[in-house]
Structure 1
Amino acid sequence: MRIAHGLSRWRALTGVTARGFGIVLAAVGLLVAGFRSGYPDLAMLGAAAGIALVCAVGFASWRPRLGVERVAEPDRVARGESARMTLTVRNTSRLRAANLVASDRCGNKSVPVPLLRLRPGRDTTVGYPVPTTRRGIVPIGPLRVTRGDPLGLVTLARTYGGPAEVWVHPRIHLLRAVPAGMARSLDGRIDKVPHGTTTFDTLREYVIGDELRRVHWRSSAKVGDLMVREQLDTSEPTIVVLLDDRAAAHPEVRDGTAESFEAACEAAASIVAAAVREDIPVSLHLVTDVATGPYLDVLTRATLRPGDLAATIRRVRAQRLGDTLVFLTGPGGRGDLGAVSALRGAYPVVMAGLFGDRDGAPVSAGDGLIVIEADDGDEFAAAWDGVRGW
Structure 2
Amino acid sequence: MGVTARGIGLFVAAAALLAAGFRFAYPELALLGAAGATAGGYALAVAAWRPRLAVVRRAEPDRVGRGEPATMTVTVHNSGRLRSANLVAEDRCGGVPVPVPVLRLRPGKDTTARYDVPTTRRGVVPVGPLRVTRRDPLGLVSLSRPYGETVPVWVHPRVHPLSVVPTGAGRSLDGRVDSVPHGSITFDSLREYVVGDELRRVHWRTSARVGELMVRENVDTSLPRLVVLLDNRAVAHPQRVAGLAESFEAACEAAASVLTAAYRADLPVVLVLVASEEAVSPAGAPDSEVVGPLDRLAAAGLGADTLDAMLTRLRGDRLGDTLIALTGPGGRETLGRFGALRGAYPSVVVGVFGAAEPAQPPATGMVVIDAADGAAFAAEWDRVRRW
- With the length of structure 1 as denominator, give the TM-score of the two structures: 0.83
Q: Which of 18-27 and 332-341 deviates more?
A: 18-27
Q: Tell me which residue corresponds to 2:343.
A: 345
Compute the displacement of 1:25 (Å).
1.4
Partner SS, residue 367 of structure 1? coil
Q: Tell me which residue corresponds to 1:312.
A: 310
1:360 aligns with 2:357: yes
Compute the displacement of 1:66 (Å).
1.2
1:55 aligns with 2:42: yes
Letter in 1 for 2:196: I
1:67 aligns with 2:54: yes
Query: Structure 1 residues 380 and 16, CA, compared in 2 at 3 Å: closer, same or farther?
Result: same
1:199–1:232: 8 Å Cα contact kept in structure 2?
Answer: yes
2:124–2:298: 8 Å Cα contact kept in structure 1?
Answer: yes
Letter in 1 for 2:197: G
Q: Tell me which residue corresponds to 2:25.
A: 38
Compute the displacement of 1:181 (Å).
4.1
1:389 aligns with 2:386: yes
Partner SS, residue 8 of structure 2? helix
2: distance between equivalents of 1:344 and 1:325?
9
Q: Tell me which residue corresponds to 1:324.
A: 322
1:170 aligns with 2:157: yes
Q: Tell me which residue corresponds to 2:372.
A: 375
Q: How do 1:75-94 residues align onto structure 2 when only pairs under 5 Å count?
A: 75-94=62-81
Letter in 2 for 1:374: A
1: distance between equivalents of 2:190 and 2:103?
76
Letter in 1 for 2:353: F
1:183–1:199: 8 Å Cα contact kept in structure 2?
Answer: no
Partner SS, residue 54 of structure 1? helix
Q: Which of 205-214 and 46-55 deviates more?
A: 205-214
2: distance between equivalents of 1:164 and 1:172?
24
Letter in 1 for 2:297: L
Equivalent of 2:143 in 150, 156, 163 = 156
Q: Tell me which residue corresponds to 2:268.
A: 281
Query: Structure 1 residues 312 and 376, CA, compared in 2 at 3 Å: closer, same or farther?
Result: same
Letter in 2 for 1:303: G
2: distance between equivalents of 1:304 and 1:293?
20
Partner SS, residue 103 of structure 1? strand
Compute the displacement of 1:55 (Å).
1.1
Equivalent of 2:169 in 163, 182, 202 = 182
Query: Structure 1 residues 44 and 95, CA, compared in 2 at 3 Å: closer, same or farther?
Result: closer
2: distance between equivalents of 1:385 and 1:349?
16
Q: Tell me which residue corresponds to 2:282.
A: none
Query: Structure 1 residues 385 and 365, CA, compared in 2 at 3 Å: closer, same or farther?
Result: farther
Partner SS, residue 321 of structure 1? coil
1:196–1:233: 8 Å Cα contact kept in structure 2?
Answer: no
Q: How do 1:118-267 residues align onto structure 2 when only pairs under 5 Å count?
A: 118-182=105-169, 195-196=175-176, 200=188, 208-209=196-197, 230=217, 238-267=225-254
Query: Structure 1 residues 30 and 329, CA, compared in 2 at 3 Å: closer, same or farther?
Result: same
1: distance between equivalents of 2:88 and 2:274?
47
Q: Which of 303-312 and 289-298 deviates more?
A: 289-298
2: distance between equivalents of 1:247 and 1:207?
62
2:167–2:226: 8 Å Cα contact kept in structure 1?
Answer: no
Query: Structure 1 residues 204 and 213, CA, compared in 2 at 3 Å: closer, same or farther?
Result: closer
Compute the displacement of 1:62 (Å).
2.2
Compute the displacement of 1:237 (Å).
8.3
Compute the displacement of 1:169 (Å).
1.1
Compute the displacement of 1:366 (Å).
2.1
Q: Deviations over 1:199-243 (max 9, x none)?
A: 7479999772167999xxxxxxxxxxxxx9735699x98111011
2: distance between equivalents of 1:385 and 1:43?
87
2: distance between equivalents of 1:246 and 1:206?
56
Partner SS, residue 327 of structure 1? strand
2: distance between equivalents of 1:178 and 1:44?
86
Compute the RMSD of aligned alpha carbons.
3.0
Query: Structure 1 residues 298 and 204, CA, compared in 2 at 3 Å: closer, same or farther?
Result: farther
1:181–1:193: 8 Å Cα contact kept in structure 2?
Answer: no
Structure 1 stretches lacking a partner, 5+ long: 1-13, 185-191, 215-227
**Identity percentage over the alignment?**
57
2: distance between equivalents of 1:60 and 1:124?
22
Query: Structure 1 residues 142 and 365, CA, compared in 2 at 3 Å: closer, same or farther?
Result: same
Partner SS, residue 31 of structure 1? helix
Partner SS, residue 33 of structure 2? helix
Q: Which of 306-315 and 273-282 deviates more?
A: 306-315
Q: Deviations over 1:113-146 (max 9, x none)?
A: 1113321111111111111111111111111111
2: distance between equivalents of 1:353 and 1:296?
19
Query: Structure 1 residues 372 and 193, CA, compared in 2 at 3 Å: closer, same or farther?
Result: farther
Query: Structure 1 residues 256 and 71, CA, compared in 2 at 3 Å: closer, same or farther?
Result: same
Q: Deviations over 1:174-210 (max 9, x none)?
A: 11111144259xxxxxxx9894498747999977216
Q: Which of 122-131 and 293-302 deviates more?
A: 293-302
Q: Tell me which residue corresponds to 1:106.
A: 93
